[in-house]
A and B are shown apart, each in its own frame.
Chain A
C-alpha cells in the first residue's frame, strides 16, 4: 500500500500577521495601490492602500496571492509573522493595459496610436518546440506573413513579411533585440520575453530609413528587483519525419517504359531493350532488379532535442538573468544536422538612486553539418536533391548485396555492349556520403546601458552594443564510387574528381551607440506629455576570407595546409555606416485624445555626399471613445479606440543588388576581366557595372486607419486596420539591352509599388471563474493587394516573375496552356507560322495575337505569387489541469511555378518521373491534361500555365496537449510548477491535390526544386520551475 504522509500538526495559535508594501518592478519602484491580497483557495482578502501597504492574517503554509490588472500574480508562502514584506509585481504583457515596447521606449497599449502587435513570447514558446524565434510568429499576428521555407537544421528560420512586399529589394523587417539590430537566428528562443511588431509608419518612423519593411522589437528576459531566485528548466525530445513530398515512380519497369516512350516521341529508337525490361519484370533479386525509391534512402526519421536552464531574480539593488541552452537537431536528410549552444547573462544595478547601469552578454555557437556541396555560395543540400531529381533511377539499388553503394542495374543483356550500363549511375547516396561541410557560427554580443534620472520625469539613457559574428565554413570532399552487382566500379554523375580542402570565413563586427533624453510629465489632471530625443551612430564591417588547396596526399587530411595544388585565396572587406537623429512627442489629453509625432534624420554611407540625408516624419492620433462621458452608459463596450496615422519611412537595404558603394563608378579588375598571353596571366580591367551616381533612399509613405474594440467585459477583443503603403524611388536594376555587353545594370531610383489592404484580429477569452474549464480563440486575417505602380514606363522585360506596371510584384508570366493538340494537323494549323511545329500530344498555347506563331507577344499574366490573403487561427481549451492548443496558418489566392527537375519528367538528361506522368498523352490516351512525354523537350517546358498551381493552403501548424501537474504533487518535491506536453508540429496541410511538391509553405519566387523540406515534428517536453 502506498505510504501516506502524516499531515504536519500545527499549533492552534498558528495564525500569523503579515504586512508589507507592494510595488512594481520599475526603477525606481512605484507603490501599487488597490492590489488584491488574498489567501489562495479562500475568498477572504484585502487590498493595498494608497501607499501600497497591506496587512493580513494567515496560517502557516497558506499562500498569499497578490493580483492586480496589468501585472502578473505573485505568490507568497506563509512561514511566520512578517511585518515588512516587499512584494514586487511584474508587469503582465498579455493584458490590455500592458506596456508595449515601442521604439526607444514603452507605451501603454491603450495609449498607442500606431498599428502594433505584440506577442507574449513566453506563452507562445511554452506551446511550441521551435528552433528559430521567427517561427513563433506564424499564424499569430495579423499583418505578418511567416513562411518557413526550409527545414534545414541550423538554417530553418522563417521569412517574415510585414504587410506585404513593400519594395523590389530586401523586404525583411528590421529586427531589434533590446534596441540593437540583430538577427532572430542568433537568439535562443527561450530567452525572449516578448516580440512587438511595428507595422505602420507612425510606430516605425522612429527607425527612419530602415523601417520601411516593418520593425520587430524583441525584448529578452531580465531579472526583476526584489524577487526570489527562480530556476526554470524546460526541454523536449522529439522525432522529425519527412512530410509531403514528390510522388516518384519507383517501379523500374514502368520507368523504363516511360523513358522509351519519351525517346520514341522525339523520333528516336527505344533506349531500354525489351529483354532488359522483361528481366526486371520477372526478376526477384532486389540487388539485380531493384525498384528503389530514394526518398526512403536519403531521408530518415531524425531526433531533435532541446534543453534550457535559466535562473532569474533580484535583490533590492540588483537583478539578474542567466540562461544556458542546448539544441540538437539532426536533419531528415541523412548526414545533416545542427547543434546550438547558447549562454545569456544580464545584470542591472541600481548604483545610486539616480543612476541605473546594466549590461548583457550573449554568446551563441551553432555547428551545422552537411555533406560536401560543390557550390561555394549556398548552404544547402542542393546536390543531393539535384541528383535525386535528375537521376535516382528506381533501377539503381541504394546498396549492393555486399554493402557498397549501388550503381545502375539497367545493363545490356546481349550485343556488343553486353554487361555495359545503358545509362550512367546517379546514386544520391554517394553525394550524401561525400565529405563534410561544417558551418560554425560564433556569435558574441555585449551591451552596456546607463539610465540617469536627471530630474523628475527627465531621464537620459545611453546604450552601446557590439556584436561579433563569425561564420566559418570548413569543407572537404572525397572520392566515392558506386558498384554494379557485377562489381564494376563507376562514379555517380558529375562526381568531383578533385579533392578540395576549403575554409571560408565571414567575420562581422557591428556596433551601435545611441543616446536618448526622455521627458515625461503631466500638467494638471488632464494633460500628459512624453518627449524623447536621441542620436545614434552605427557601423557594420564584414570581412570575408576564403582559402583552398587541392589534392591532399592522403585520405583523412582535411586541412587546407594538407593540400598540394591549386592554392586559392580571396578576401575582402565591406562596410557601411549610419548617423541618425530622432525624436518623438506624445500628447495625451485626459486619456481620450492621443497625438504622436515622430521625426528621424538618417545619413548613410551608401549614398554620395549630398544625397545622404533622408528625413522621415510621421504623425498619428487616437481617440479613446470609450473614455468619453457619453459612452459611460454603453455597457457592452469596454474599449473603443479609433486610430489614424501617416508617415514616411526609408529603405537603404540594397546591398544584395548594389553592394555598399552603389554610387561609385568602378572598374573591375579580376580574373574574370583578365587574359593570358604566352602562358602568363595579364591583368585586364573593364567596366562591368553601370552606375547612377545620384541614387538615394527608397521612401515608403504609409497611412493606417485602425479601430480597437473590447466588448463583453473585454472577453472579446477586436482590432481592425486598413493600410495603404506606397513605396517610391524603389532602387532597381532595370535590365539593359545586351548591346551594352552584358554589363550589370545601374541601380536607379525608379519604381513605385503600392500595398494596401486590411487586417483583422479577434480574440475571445472565455470566463474561467468558478469553472473547471475555459477556452480562448484567436483569429487573424490579412488581405493585401500589391501593385507595381510605376516601373520602366510599363515596358519592363518579359520574364517568368514579371515586374510590370499594373500587376502584382513578381506575377507569373508566360504562355497560357489551353489544351493538348489531338492531331498533328491541329498543331500545324494552329502554329502555321511558327519556326518549330509542335505535334499531337504537345501542349497547345493560346496564340494571343493570332499570328500563328508563339513568341513574347503571346505571353500573359498567369497568377500572383504573393498571397493576397493570409490568416491564422488559434484555439486553446483548458480543462482542469489539461490544456489543448491548436494553431493553424494559411494563405489563399496565390500561385506557384512548379517546373523543376522533379516535376518535369526525366529532368534534363534523364531524371525522376512523378507518378502523374503515367497518365501522359498517348494516341491511345487522349483524354488527359498531361502532354506527351518527350526527351529533350523544349516546347512543353516553356514557362506556361501548365506548370503553375494554386498554392492556397491551410496548415495545422501546431497541436499541443499539456498537462500541468497538480500543485499538491509538487510542493513535496520543491517544485513551483511543472508541466509536460505532447506537441505535433506541421501536423497536416490542406492543399490542392494538383500541387506537386514538398510543403506548400515555401518560397513562391522559386520553382521549389532545391527546397530542403520542412519536417513534421512530434515532441514530448517538460517545463519545470523550482
Chain B
C-alpha cells in the first residue's frame, strides 16, 4: 500500500483552499452574515423581547431568560439572552470581518463589490448597536482575530462603541444603493434609519432629525394604510418597511419561530403554539379608548384603540374562527389571560418554526416618532411639528383613527404623549425594553404585578424595585469573564 491510500478529502463542504476565488464565493460569505440576523437574540425572537419590559411576561422562563431580565432576577451565569445576544452579535461581526478582510481577493464587478462591502459594514453596525444598547461598551473587533487575542480583549467605552456603530453605518451609507437588487438586502434608507436609531438611543437629537430628514428626502417611504395589514404576509415589504429580517416557509430552517411561540395551544387550524410570551394587563390598560372615556369594566374591549386587537389576543377575541380562551387555550403555567397576535399568521397553515412572515426591524412610523421625540427633547418651536407627527400615527391609517392630540401641548405633556404613542405603536415589536431604559423610567414604572386570566397574582416584576445603574444593562456572560480576565462586569452583577 502506498501512503497516497490515505489521501481522502470530504466531498460535502468547501475548504479554504478553494474559497475566495469567484464572485459566487463573495455572495456566499455575504449571505452568511445576513444569516445571523435570524438568531434568536439578534432579531429572531421578534416581539418576545418585550418580555424584558413592562409589556409582557415570559412564562417559559427557561427558554431565553427574558422573564428574568424582565423581573430583575437575571444573573450573569443564566445564559439565554445574556450569552446569546453577546455571542450571536459577535457571530455576525466576525463574519463581516472575515468578508471585509477577504473580499478584495476576488476580481469582480467593482460596483457590486462596493455595494456588498456596504452591506457588510451596515450589518456590523447593526450588531454593534444591539451590543451597545444591551451591554453598554463592548470589545471592538474589526478584523479577523485569533483565539489568543479573543482571550485578552478589553471593553471599549459605551461612547466608543456607539462611535464604531456610526463609523460602520457611515461606510455603509457611502456604498449602499437606494434600492436593493433583492428585497431584504440593506439599502441606503436602512443605513440612514438604523443610524438614526443609534443616535436616538444616544440622545443625539440633532443627528436624529438630520437622519430622519434624509430618509424622508429619499421619498420612498411612508405609512402603510393599514396597521393590521402591516404585519400580514400579503403586505410584506410595503412602503413602510425600511429594514426587515426576511423569513420564508419550508423545512429549511428559514422560517421564524413566531407562530410556534406566540400562537395558543390546541388549535384545529394552524400551528400548535406554546404562548411562551404573553402581554400583560399593564400593557392592555395602556391602550386608550377611542373617545377618551374610561374603560367600561363590563365590556373592557369595546371602544378601544384598534391597535389593541391587532396586537393582543384577548379573552373573547376570535382567532381563526375560534374563541379565545374557551376554544383555544394558553399553555399550562401561562396563566396570563393574553397572547400575542401581532406577527402570527391566521390565514394559512403554518408549521412549527416555518413561519414565513418577515420581521420588521425598522419602519417609517419609527422615523416619524423618532423625529418627534428629538423635536420634543430639543424643546421650543419644534413641539407642534412633533405633535403633528404623532397625530399622523394616531389617525394616518385607514384602520387606526384616534382623536388627534392638541398641537398646543406643553413639552412635558408632549413627551408623555410621545412615549405613550411609541409604546402602543410598537407594542410587541421588541423595542419597549430599550425605550424604558433610555428614558430612565424604570424606577417609575416598576414594580408591576403580573396577574393571570382569573386575576390571580403570578409574580411581581422588580418586586424589590428597579435599580437603573444595574438593570439598565445586561450582565456580561459569566463564562466569558471567566475566560478573559480583562473583561469587566457591569455594575450590580
Q: Name A residues whose Cβ lies closer than 8 Å to a Cβ of B.
A: 266-271, 415-417, 420, 423-424, 490-491, 493-495, 497-498, 535, 537, 566, 568, 572-579, 603-605, 609, 612, 660-661, 664-669, 671-687, 690, 735-743, 745-746, 795, 797-798, 835-837, 855-856, 908-910, 935-936, 938
Q: Beyond A605-B7, A798-B479, is A669–B458 a contact (Cβ under 8 Å)?
A: no
Contact B74 A675 (CB under 8 A): no
Contact B184 A676 (CB under 8 A): yes
Q: Beyond A739-B141, A741-B91, A837-B464, is A424–B5 a contact (Cβ under 8 Å)?
A: no
Contact A685 B10 (CB under 8 A): no
Q: How far is the CA of A664 from the CA of B247 in the complex (A)?
A: 32
Contacts of B151 in A (CB 8 A): 737
B255-278 vs A: 1/0 string, CB under 8 Å?
000000000011000011010000
Contacts of B413 in A (CB 8 A): none
Contact B35 A684 (CB under 8 A): yes
Contacts of B88 in A (CB 8 A): 741-742
Contacts of A604 in B (CB 8 A): 6
Contact B248 A668 (CB under 8 A): no
At the interface with chain A, which of B75-83, B301-309, B400-408, B416-424? Answer: B75-83
Contact A938 B78 (CB under 8 A): yes
Q: Beyond A423-B332, A577-B8, is A741–B184 a contact (Cβ under 8 Å)?
A: no
Contacts of B105 in A (CB 8 A): none
- Contact for A835 among B62, B73, B459, CB less than 8 A: B73
Q: How far is the CA of A936 from the CA of B332 in the complex (A)?
A: 13
Contacts of A575 in B (CB 8 A): 8
A–B complex contacts, Cβ < 8 Å, 23 sampled: A271-B456, A424-B329, A495-B272, A537-B1, A578-B6, A604-B6, A661-B9, A664-B9, A664-B15, A667-B13, A674-B254, A682-B31, A683-B31, A684-B29, A684-B33, A685-B28, A736-B147, A739-B139, A741-B93, A795-B482, A835-B493, A909-B332, A935-B333
B250 located at the interface, meaning its Cβ lies under 8 Å from any Cβ of chain A in the complex = yes
B398 located at the interface, meaning its Cβ lies under 8 Å from any Cβ of chain A in the complex = no
Contact A739 B34 (CB under 8 A): no
Contact A268 B15 (CB under 8 A): no
- Contact for A669 among B28, B76, B139, B147, CB less than 8 A: B28
Contact B16 A676 (CB under 8 A): no
Contacts of A605 in B (CB 8 A): 6-8
Q: Nearest 9 pairs between A and B by C-beta?
A: A684-B31, A741-B91, A269-B456, A686-B32, A678-B183, A685-B28, A684-B32, A738-B87, A665-B16
B330-373 vs A: 1/0 string, CB under 8 Å?
01110100000000000000011000100000000000000000
Contact B480 A738 (CB under 8 A): yes
Q: How far is the CA of A909 from the CA of B58 in the complex (A)?
A: 12
Contact A742 B91 (CB under 8 A): yes
Contact B61 A666 (CB under 8 A): no
Contact A669 B14 (CB under 8 A): yes
Contacts of B29 in A (CB 8 A): 684-686
Contact B8 A686 (CB under 8 A): no
B3 located at the interface, meaning its Cβ lies under 8 Å from any Cβ of chain A in the complex = yes
Contacts of B248 in A (CB 8 A): 676, 679-681
- Contact for A684 among B30, B83, B185, CB less than 8 A: B30
Q: How far is the CA of A739 from the CA of B127 in the complex (A)?
A: 12
Closest to B85 in A: A738
Interface centre among B14, B72, B271, by most chain A C-beta atoms within 10 angstroms, is: B14
Q: How far is the CA of A909 from the CA of B62 in the complex (A)?
A: 9
Q: How far is the CA of A423 from the CA of B331 in the complex (A)?
A: 8
Contacts of A671 in B (CB 8 A): 252-254
Q: How far is the CA of A674 from the CA of B463 in the complex (A)?
A: 43
- Contact for B6 among A269, A497, A603, CB less than 8 A: A603
Closest to A424 in B: B332
Contacts of B456 in A (CB 8 A): 268-271
Q: How far is the CA of A571 from the CA of B16 in the complex (A)?
A: 22
Q: Beyond A685-B28, A836-B73, is A672–B253 a contact (Cβ under 8 Å)?
A: yes
Closest to A937 in B: B61
Contact A497 B95 (CB under 8 A): no
B interface residue count range (under 10 / 10 to 19 / 20 to 34 / 35 or more) = 35 or more
Contact A938 B68 (CB under 8 A): yes
Q: How far is the CB of A802 from chain B (nearest CB, A)?
A: 12
Contact B35 A686 (CB under 8 A): yes
Q: How far is the CB of A1026 from chain B (nearest CB, A)?
A: 47
- Contact for A268 among B453, B458, B483, CB less than 8 A: B458
Contact B352 A579 (CB under 8 A): no
Contacts of A666 in B (CB 8 A): 10, 13-16
Closest to A854 in B: B75
Q: How far is the CB of A529 from chain B (nearest CB, A)?
A: 29
Using a CB-CB cutoff of 8 Å, which residues 148-165 of chain B contact chain A? 150-151, 153
Using a CB-CB cutoff of 8 Å, which residues 21-79 of chain B contact chain A? 25, 27-35, 37-38, 59-62, 67-68, 72-78
Interface centre among B92, B147, B246, by most chain A C-beta atoms within 10 angstroms, is: B147
Contact A739 B480 (CB under 8 A): yes
Chain A interface, >50% SS class? loop
Contact A682 B182 (CB under 8 A): yes
Closest to B10 in A: A661
B326 located at the interface, meaning its Cβ lies under 8 Å from any Cβ of chain A in the complex = yes
Contact A566 B92 (CB under 8 A): no
Q: Beyond A576-B8, A666-B16, A741-B93, is A735–B34 a contact (Cβ under 8 Å)?
A: no
B445 located at the interface, meaning its Cβ lies under 8 Å from any Cβ of chain A in the complex = no
Contact B457 A267 (CB under 8 A): yes
Closest to A549 in B: B251
Contact A677 B457 (CB under 8 A): no
B377 located at the interface, meaning its Cβ lies under 8 Å from any Cβ of chain A in the complex = no
B204 located at the interface, meaning its Cβ lies under 8 Å from any Cβ of chain A in the complex = no
B432-462 vs A: 1/0 string, CB under 8 Å?
0000000000000000000011101111100
Contact A746 B147 (CB under 8 A): yes
Q: How far is the CA of A675 from the CA of B28 in the complex (A)?
A: 10
Q: How far is the CA of A568 from the CA of B331 in the complex (A)?
A: 30
Contact A676 B246 (CB under 8 A): yes
Contact A681 B68 (CB under 8 A): no
Q: How far is the CB of B72 from chain A (nearest CB, A)?
A: 8
Q: How far is the CB of A254 from chain B (nearest CB, A)?
A: 19
B86 located at the interface, meaning its Cβ lies under 8 Å from any Cβ of chain A in the complex = yes
B189 located at the interface, meaning its Cβ lies under 8 Å from any Cβ of chain A in the complex = no
Contacts of A497 in B (CB 8 A): 271-272
Contact B482 A798 (CB under 8 A): yes
Contact A835 B7 (CB under 8 A): no
Contacts of A495 in B (CB 8 A): 272
Interface centre among A568, A603, A679, A836, by most chain B C-beta atoms within 10 angstroms, is: A679
Q: How far is the CA of A365 from the CA of B29 in the complex (A)?
A: 46
Contact A741 B94 (CB under 8 A): yes
Contact B351 A566 (CB under 8 A): yes
Q: How far is the CA of A740 from the CA of B484 in the complex (A)?
A: 12
Contacts of B479 in A (CB 8 A): 735, 738, 797-798, 856
Contacts of A270 in B (CB 8 A): 456
Q: How far is the CB of A255 from chain B (nearest CB, A)?
A: 14
Q: How far is the CB of B240 from chain A (nearest CB, A)?
A: 17
Q: How far is the CA of A741 from the CA of B33 in the complex (A)?
A: 11
- Contact for B351 among A416, A498, A672, A690, CB less than 8 A: A498
Contact B15 A665 (CB under 8 A): yes
B11 located at the interface, meaning its Cβ lies under 8 Å from any Cβ of chain A in the complex = yes
Beyond known contacts A666-B16, A835-B493, A936-B459: 20 more, CB 8 A cutoff: A268-B456, A537-B5, A566-B250, A573-B11, A665-B15, A674-B32, A677-B182, A679-B246, A681-B250, A682-B34, A686-B29, A687-B95, A735-B483, A739-B90, A740-B145, A742-B88, A798-B479, A835-B73, A835-B75, A856-B482
B98 located at the interface, meaning its Cβ lies under 8 Å from any Cβ of chain A in the complex = yes
B279 located at the interface, meaning its Cβ lies under 8 Å from any Cβ of chain A in the complex = no
Contacts of B452 in A (CB 8 A): 268-269
Contact B60 A909 (CB under 8 A): yes
Using a CB-CB cutoff of 8 Å, which residues 176-231 of chain B contact chain A? 182-185
Contact A738 B90 (CB under 8 A): yes
- Contact for A741 among B14, B77, B87, CB less than 8 A: B87
Using a CB-CB cutoff of 8 Å, which residues 77-121 of chain B contact chain A? 77-78, 83, 86-88, 90-95, 98
Contact B32 A491 (CB under 8 A): no
